[in-house]
Structure 1
Amino acid sequence: MKIVNSFIHKHRIWRIDKFALFFVYGLSLTLVISACSSNNTSNSVATQAANQSATNQDVVIRIGYQKAATILNTMRVQKDLEKAFTANGASVTWAEFPSGPPMLEAMNAGSIDFGYTGESPPIFAQAAGNPLVYVAYDPWGSKAEAILVPKSSSIKTLADLKGKRIGVAKGSNTNYLLVKVLEKGRVDYKDIKPAFLQPPDARAAFEGNNIDAWAIWDPYLSAAQAATGARTLTDATGLAPNRGYYLAAKSFVDKYPDALKTVLDEVKKRNNWAKNNPTEVAKFLSPQLGIDVGVLEVAEKRRDYGVLPLTEEVIRKQQEIADTFYKIKLIPKSINVSEIVWKGNQ
């Protein structure tokens, strides 16, 4: 009997010791896991915060602008974007271009992230494989571009442009206007002599009678009219919508969509100011462009403003322009405009 009791007593002790051992082991393991989890969470939060801080500090938003492009040029001087990005540590740089095509070439080369051009440059850029994205459009207006001829010119009708030397910035918004003007006048594009010139060179050629007509946009249009008495053969009414487009590099859109939204928000604010203050805009642009304030006011008052998401109708019209350029072999291949429209601004 004593032997039995002794066995039972020892067995109970072994069970108690075994339970205690498992309890201690389990508690220790729980504390270790808890500590590791806590450390991992803290490290994760700290890492995310550090990465976010580093990302913000490393972001440089590179803007391309033209002096004659009211909104971005005004924003550059007023430092709208610099003020908007101060809080999160990003910085802004600016690069000037004479027109849209070289600006988009710079975007293709990775030199700028954001810019504004007329309707034709992004079509040429897309056809060349430039990884850009339409992010918004500006309704600008058909009165803000035209075909000019010297006041004493014998050119009276659109048909009279046949065989003439016509100045135009290749790939610019007026490149499409010229195509539509010739189409309306039943003149084959091959039957004119295009002189591909940037606005300052075209102005000199126009005044020197080295070109017979000039396809040009405001404010260069209003300046030439005032200075030379040039006649407007036709403006873009009924021929071309003459919209402007805000464009961004695809890499920038993909990596920094929030920064892009901030840029567009600031563009909208400055846009609203410009729309309501044409005289102030003219005074701002005058010393930069060397154009009289009164002439610039004319240009400002005959254009429209807006920072709008691309609608199906706008995309369709851009596609028409692209198809037209392909048809007459101004671009080497057919493109699909809708493939590079940003959906984040809908």
Structure 2
Amino acid sequence: MTRRLIAALLIALTAGTACASPERSAPGGQDGAASGRVTLRVGDQKAGSQALLKAAGLLDGTSYAITWAQFTSGPPLLEAVNAGAVDIGGVGNTPPVFAAASGSKIKIVAAHRQSAKASAILVPPGSAITSPAQLKGRKIAVAKGSSAHYHLLAVLKREGLSFADIQPQYLQPADALAAFSSGTVDAWAIWDPFTSQAVIEHKARLLADGEGVVNGLGFQVAAPAALDDAGKRAAVGDYLTRLAKARIWAATHLDEWAKVWARETGLPVEVTNAAAANAVATPVVIDDSVVSSQQEIADAFTAEGLIPGTVVFSQFVDDRFNDVVGKAQR
């Protein structure tokens, strides 16, 4: 691992400890080690899982401590999982494919499916681009290895185009938003809550969403070392059950969820209200259909030459926690 990546991980983990809720970690950023409790180190994006669990009232009463580390997107989160800096974290459908292709030590342990409308390709309000076919030759911002990366690839393929036909600008969401709002890129492939933020605050126009193009899957991905530890393995199982219950709760409590999400992220509540409507997710078991759908994504990136070699997605799946879906519905 490069020094730059190690530094980035340390910064992310420091930020995560600072934003951990008081009941989850001891004062001064210490974890549960002092009390002898297991500490589960959880990676998150834009406070998604943390805000959801807090809104649903499911952060209390754990027999283990939780520390949170916030990441800008799925790929750096999985870098932290691979490095052993995070035990588990939530990502979209594409980061596990890129992590697997790079030989990362990861295990996909839970899945959910949400509306494909959360995925979007946006253009500025005054753009002359009116169809995805007109993306040819354009500068398009996208986070490399993110779910938006596959969405963009799939939309281009549908139009008979490839990545060789565009000028991809690999930017993390904050930098991409700055480039998009300043007009230095022609389009932006992104996901919620950034989609809603761009539409509401910057009057972005939707060019294409993910309906009929992406599978809408997201995953919880764990470090094998955490799963090998009996205490952390039990904590992972409980955490996944709570998260699945929170997803079910959120489907009928959008307002409450959006308010907490706004408080945790600093986003306007009108943005989180819009994002919550698209982010409702249903927990699903990791079965053959999920693996097959993910294999299609991996094969598409291989065919495009965007990842090295061939990924066998099933080799990175651990389905021992599939029972959390049933537990969450009780």
Match of 1:315 among 279, 283, 291: 291
Q: Deviations over 1:37-69 (max 9, x none)?
A: xxxxxxxxxxxxxxxxx9x93632111111252
C-alpha distance in 2 between matches for 1:77 and 1:93: 17
How far has the Cα of 1:167 moved from its partner? 0.3
Q: Deviations over 1:129-187 (max 9, x none)?
A: 11111111111221111100112111112111011000001111000000011111112
Structure-2 residue corresponding to 1:142:
116
Native 8 Å contact 1:119 1:173 kept in 2? yes
SS in 1 for 2:281: coil
Moved more, 76-85 or 322-331: 76-85
Moved more, 301-310 or 175-184: 301-310
SS in 2 for 1:310: coil
Aligned residues: 287
Match of 2:53 among 75, 92, 98: 75
Check if 1:59 corresponds to 2:38. Answer: yes
Structure-1 residue corresponding to 2:255:
279
SS in 2 for 1:62: strand
- Pair 1:300–1:77, CA change in 2 (3 A): closer
Structure-2 residue corresponding to 1:46:
none
How far has the Cα of 1:284 moved from its partner? 1.1
- Pair 1:161–1:68, CA change in 2 (3 A): farther
Native 8 Å contact 2:40 2:236 kept in 1? no
Task: Answer 1 or 2: which has greater helix percent.
Answer: 1
Q: Deviations over 1:242-284 (max 9, x none)?
A: 2111111112123233222111112123223322211111111
Native 8 Å contact 2:106 2:222 kept in 1? yes
Check if 1:106 corresponds to 2:84. Answer: no
Native 8 Å contact 1:68 1:219 kept in 2? no
Native 8 Å contact 2:90 2:218 kept in 1? yes
Aligned-CA RMSD value: 2.0
Structure-2 residue corresponding to 1:19:
none
Gaps of 5+ in 1: 1-53
- Structure index of larger Rg: 1
Q: Deviations over 1:326-345 (max 9, x none)?
A: 11121112011111211212
Identity over aligned pairs, percent: 39
Following TM superposition, the consecutive aligned residue runs of length 4 or more in structure 1 with deviations greater than 6 angstroms are 76-79
**2:51 corresponds to which letter in structure 1?**
N
Native 8 Å contact 1:82 1:91 kept in 2? no
Check if 1:211 corresponds to 2:185. Answer: yes
Match of 1:196 among 151, 154, 170: 170
Native 8 Å contact 1:149 1:155 kept in 2? yes
How far has the Cα of 1:233 moved from its partner? 0.8
Q: Deviations over 1:178-203 (max 9, x none)?
A: 00111111122112111111111111
Native 8 Å contact 1:158 1:184 kept in 2? no
Structure-2 residue corresponding to 1:342:
318
Moved more, 138-147 or 59-68: 59-68
**2:101 corresponds to which letter in structure 1?**
A
C-alpha distance in 1 between matches for 2:220 and 2:283: 8
Structure-1 residue corresponding to 2:4:
none
Native 8 Å contact 2:144 2:170 kept in 1? yes
TM-score after normalising by structure 2: 0.82
SS in 2 for 1:330: coil
Moved more, 57-66 or 188-197: 57-66
